[in-house]
A and B are shown apart, each in its own frame.
Chain A
Amino acid sequence: MPEFSTTREVKTAKGRVPGEVGIWLFVAGDLVVFAVFFIVIALGHVDQAEVFARSRASLDMWVGVLNTLLLLTGSWFVAVGVEKCRTNPSSGVSRYFTLAILCGLGFVANKSFEWGGKISSGINPATNDFFMLFFIFTGIHLLHVLVGIVVVLLIRNTSRRPALGKREMQTIESGATFWHLVDLLWIALFALLYLL
């Protein structure tokens, strides 16, 4: 697949770890944990096909689509913000992170309405196995979004510093990596819970 960016950066054989190595250890751990979640959902689709199909049909797919678009757009804002911090830091860069935070808050609001609607109509984690997995896994993901919002708030403040050295850029890149992790985990959860 061709590289989307056409930058003429010199690539060494070793490459460069974006952010700090520690954040990638966390990413690796989270990917393993969520891989188990994904497999559990897929097994549920096979073992309890009728219950899962009926329950999934009661979800509003547009809520999932909107949340996906919010996180994708939030990721885009963060990616552009990081690039601008690296190449053309200025006081205006922080607005990209502000917009990403707004996307995250939109996700939280949308998810709250969805959960509220379900609970008010008598659907909760005890309803059946689908909704147990739905509430637990989207709940754990929602916690990631809330942490992500705080993280982007921190990198927004860092991006406002008059000089961005190596240490500041590592902080910004590490925070951005976490935010993108939240995005990619949702992409898979959305497919498995709303689309299958």
Chain B
Amino acid sequence: MMMREKNSVCASGANIAWFILVVATGIGWWLGHASQSGGQGERLATAGVIIVAFIKVWIVGFQFMELRHAPRWLRLGYDAWTVVICATLVIICLG
């Protein structure tokens, strides 16, 4: 009984992550249109595309790759990679 409960709860964690990732894909697509159409918000939309993408990357690691249960060094290593590469790409594209 407990195992079944735990099973369904874990699956719901994956369901929520999948839903957020799909919604974020839609947001990224919308920001991509804004970024490509030019105008005042172009730079903001460009940064948004990159940031939304790396939030998705982080969620895949945290939930699907189970880094939420991983040792601190592994979690922090992945977090650091995500933040550093995201920041680097934003700086290059807006610089």
Name A's B-contacting residues (CB within 8 A). Answer: 1, 3-9, 11, 13-18, 24, 28, 31, 35, 38-39, 42-43, 45-46, 53, 56-57, 61, 65, 68-69, 72-73, 75-76, 78-80, 83-84, 87-88, 173, 176-177, 180-181, 183-184, 187-188, 190-192, 194-196
- List, sorted by A's number, 6 A–B pairs whose CB atoms are closer than 8 Å: A14-B71, A76-B64, A79-B64, A188-B57, A191-B50, A195-B28
Interface size counted on chain B using CB atoms at 8 A:
54
- 8 A Cβ contacts from B22-71 to A: 22, 25, 28-29, 31-32, 35-36, 46, 49-50, 52-54, 56-57, 60-71
A31 neighbours in B (Cβ, 8 Å): 81
- Contact B61 A194, beta carbon cutoff 8 Å: no
Residues of A contacting B: mostly: helix
Q: A65-B29, A83-B11 are in contact. Are A75 and B88 (CB under 8 A)?
A: no
Residues of B contacting A: mostly: helix
Kindly state the separation between the CA atoms of A87 and B22 in the bound complex, as whole angstroms.
Answer: 26
B89 neighbours in A (Cβ, 8 Å): 38-39, 42, 192
Kindly state the separation between the CA atoms of A93 and B25 in the bound complex, as whole angstroms.
Answer: 28
CB distance from B1 to the nearest CB of A (A): 11
Kindly state the separation between the CA atoms of A183 and B63 in the bound complex, as whole angstroms.
Answer: 13
